[in-house]
Homo-oligomer: A and B are copies of this chain.
Amino acid sequence: MSEHATASRLRLSGLCFLLQILLILLFAVLVRYSPEGSPGPCPPQLNCSRRSPDSAFQQPPGIQDVHVQVLLSFGLLVAFLSRYGPGSAAISILITAFSIQWAVLIQGMLYFFLNGKIYVGARSMVSADLCTAAVLISTGAVLGRVNPVQMLLLALLEVTLCTVNEYILLTLMGVSDSGGSLTIHTFGAYFGLMVSRVLYLPHKNKRKREEQQDKGHQMDVLAVVGTIYLWIFWPSFTSTTTAHHNAENWAVLNTYFSLVASTMSTFILSPVLYEEGTPRMQVQIQDATLAGLAVMGMAGEMLLTPFGALIAGFLVGLISSLGFRFFTPVLHSRLKIQDTCGVHNIHGLPGVLGALLGTLLTLLATADTFGYRLELVFPLVAQGSRTVTDQAFIQLSALPLTLLLATLGGCITGAVLKIKVLRCCPAAQCRENPGLREVAEEGSDPSAGDKELGISTLV
């Protein structure tokens, strides 16, 4: 056992080493700073069809710097902390550190490639952060049931597939989804759920035990701090990636109204749905906040009007709460999908609803109501090469496409992770691996489950 454990510890170490050396080599061959002249309009050779980071260039660079750091990922990272304690943070930071580098490469290939070189700048970092967010959402679905080596492979595959999906949607189809309702939330959630389905192991009903652990005082502190991070940084981040041009930023206002309303929903449904002894209020508020943000991904920058944002946030808050109570158990018992952090309720459903809402608003878009914003949100419509109905149809068709790619990708990734050599018992591994052990022990702990059930099928 001890020998095996040492082997598995060194395997993670070795994999990290190999990946980092590989990344350094690829960076050395491929990656350069953005060309000097680029702060102005994007040079025509570079594939600048992604509207959002492009417009960020027109701001003074200081603002970008602030925004680059305002990592979407960290909101999520902190959000997960509330569920799994600081133990899961080590693994999340590893995933973040790897995914950002990998995403800079993969996305650079598609967006910032010119004459055999990738040119990185502030907008590469923003794109990479967004992609990392999708990976972190997926890990939320499988947390506690895969070991760190599997996590790294999951990140490797998902970053690639997520970028391909994003490229098809944003560049090839011309979908407007700057906040990532589809490309981040929906893709990340369903990808993670499918991986979870493929890796399904019976007798691992963690939900109940996890909820008991949830009561720790510690977790409440983290949930509150995480919620505050989200309130402060998320609308601010939204403003980086969405269209604005010296006018009031609709996306900020809409996101803000949506999260306020979805928070109210929690207080409406929580006393009705739960008896005493259920998940704590703070965690529920955090979930509702995330759902309220996810639904604004696509629709945020459109003419939603303040009361529309209130209604959307209100409804999605209700749906998310109901989903936790009624849908997650069904998902587990019928579809054999374990959803450790409830990403389906927090990201999956709100993302889908956000895409539908975005489609509806696209139908209603006219040059009168949008003004010069039409050029920023729907450049193809503004240029006359597409009608509003066409655009709405394309926005709508992006939803099943994303779902298809996410499920397919999740199946493939799950199958890869199931390869025997990778399936080293996460419990055994973690038991010997200081620092990573808590992911299992504090989170939804397979090793404890094994002990209780007297099985050790994983090794």
**Chain A residues near B (Cβ < 8 Å):** 9-10, 12-13, 16-17, 19-20, 23-24, 27-28, 31-34, 36, 38-39, 59-71, 74, 77-78, 81, 85-87, 89-90, 93-94, 97-98, 100-101, 104, 120-122, 125, 217-218, 220-225, 227-228, 231-233, 235-236, 239-240, 244, 246-250, 252-253, 256-257, 260-261, 263-265, 267-272, 274-278, 280-282, 284-285, 305-307, 310-311, 314, 371-372, 432-438
Contact = CB atoms under 8 A, between A and B. Distances in A.
B13 A272 contact: yes
Given A276-B437, A280-B434, 7 more contacts: A13-B272, A20-B264, A24-B314, A69-B235, A85-B221, A98-B264, A217-B218
A90 B281 contact: yes
A260 B70 contact: no
Contacts of A36: 247, 371-372
A249 B122 contact: yes
Contacts of A38: 247-248
Contact of A235 (B68, B101, B249, B307): B68
B39 A436 contact: no
- The list of the 9 closest CB pairs from A to B, nearest first, reads A281-B435, A27-B307, A86-B220, A65-B239, A90-B281, A28-B307, A9-B271, A97-B263, A89-B224
Given A236-B69, A276-B434, A34 B248 contact: yes
Contacts of A16: 264, 267-268
Contacts of A222: 221
Contacts of A121: 248, 253
A260 B32 contact: no
Nearest to A18: B268
A64 B244 CA distance: 12
A252 B217 contact: no
- The number of times this chain is found in the oligomer is 3
B63 A60 contact: yes
Contact of A231 (B34, B60, B71, B305): B71
Contact of A284 (B12, B264, B435): B435
A100 B61 CA distance: 28
Contact of A246 (B28, B31, B39): B39
A221 B59 CA distance: 36
A229 B41 CA distance: 33
A236 B66 contact: yes
A97 B264 contact: yes
Given A62-B63, A235-B69, A248-B38, A306 B267 contact: no
B33 A253 contact: yes
B434 A278 contact: yes
A132 B111 CA distance: 42
Contacts of A63: 60, 62-63, 66
A138 to B, nearest CB: 20
A27 to B, nearest CB: 4
Contacts of A225: 225
Contacts of A271: 9-10, 12-13, 433-434
A235 B86 contact: no
B39 A248 contact: yes
A74 B289 CA distance: 15
A122 B252 contact: yes
B434 A277 contact: yes
Contacts of A10: 271-272
A67 B435 CA distance: 34
Nearest to A17: B268
Given A36-B247, A86-B220, A267-B13, A68 B256 contact: yes
A235 B65 contact: yes
Contacts of A231: 69, 71, 74
5 contacts: A28-B307, A65-B236, A66-B66, A74-B232, A98-B264
B27 A268 contact: no
Contacts of A97: 260-261, 263-264
Most chain B CB within a 10 A radius of its CB, from A231, A236, A278, A435: A435
Nearest to A99: B260
Contacts of A269: 13
A244 B61 contact: yes
